[in-house]
Amino acid sequence: MVKIFVEGGAQDSNLARMLCRQAFSRFFEADPILKNKRPRTVPCGGRKAAYDAFVTEMRNPTPGYRPLLLVDSEGPVLGQKGVWEHLKFRPGDRWDKPENVADNQAFLMVQVMETWFIADREAMKRFFGTNFKDKAIPTWPDLEDVPKERIYTSIEGATVDCGPKRYAKGKISFDLLATISPARVEETCPHAKKLFAALRNFD
């Protein structure tokens, strides 16, 4: 089985971690293959906390589980850089690849989790309702090239009139994650496609 140490869910809030775990579980289980594999999500709060938890798990593995790391890239993944190379040289991270870790044990949400939301605009329209301003979100040819600031401001602009459903980190973001289509995300985001390919192949 797979245990995914993910960036997300406030580190000091049991409720936030629960919502994050449930949202990722529903997202993955919307894939017909992963519905049966049921990858386990471990929300860790910040990205460094996710990395630290992953490293600890590698040193003291849970029997029967393969640990994976999933964090935002926080910026473009340049050229043919692998995930570990990106995390090693990104200012603010400088993370070393732990000993005995395979390349396919770390994955990126490029450039942020919210990029996945825009990959499924129909789900966003259904979730936010009639006051959702679809035109506030440009139609970008390559979503993974869009800086995170543009992603955030576009979603904020599209949901500014959505009242209590106006977009915000936390419960709203997790509720939305639970509704989007893995197939739409995989089709639009190459790094998400790599994640799903790996999850389907793991026992």
Residue 6 lies in domain: 2-113+170-201
Q: Is residue 140 part of a domain?
A: no
Q: Is residue 127 part of a domain?
A: no
What percent of the chain has a predicted confidence (pLDDT) above 70? 98
Q: Is residue 189 part of a domain?
A: yes
The pLDDT of residue 12:
66
Q: Is residue 100 part of a domain?
A: yes
Say if residue 198's pLDDT is above 70. yes
Report pTM. 0.95
Which residue bears the tokens 């979100």?
137
> Band of the pLDDT at 172, cuts 50, 70, 90?
very high
Report the C-alpha gap between 75 and 94 in whole angstroms. 14
Q: Give the SS3 label for residue 162.
A: coil
Q: Is residue 61 part of a domain?
A: yes
Q: Of 85, 101, 88, 92, whose CA–CA distance to 47 is shortest?
A: 92
The pLDDT of residue 161:
97
Q: Is residue 27 part of a domain?
A: yes
Domains held by the chain: number:
1
> Band of the pLDDT at 109, cuts 50, 70, 90?
very high
pLDDT tens digits along 53-97: 999 999 998 999 999 999 999 999 987 779 999 999 999 999 999
Report the C-alpha gap between 128 and 107 in whole angstroms. 29
pLDDT tens digits along 4-62: 999 987 666 888 899 999 999 999 999 999 999 889 999 999 999 999 999 999 999 89
Q: Is residue 77 part of a domain?
A: yes
Q: Is residue 107 part of a domain?
A: yes
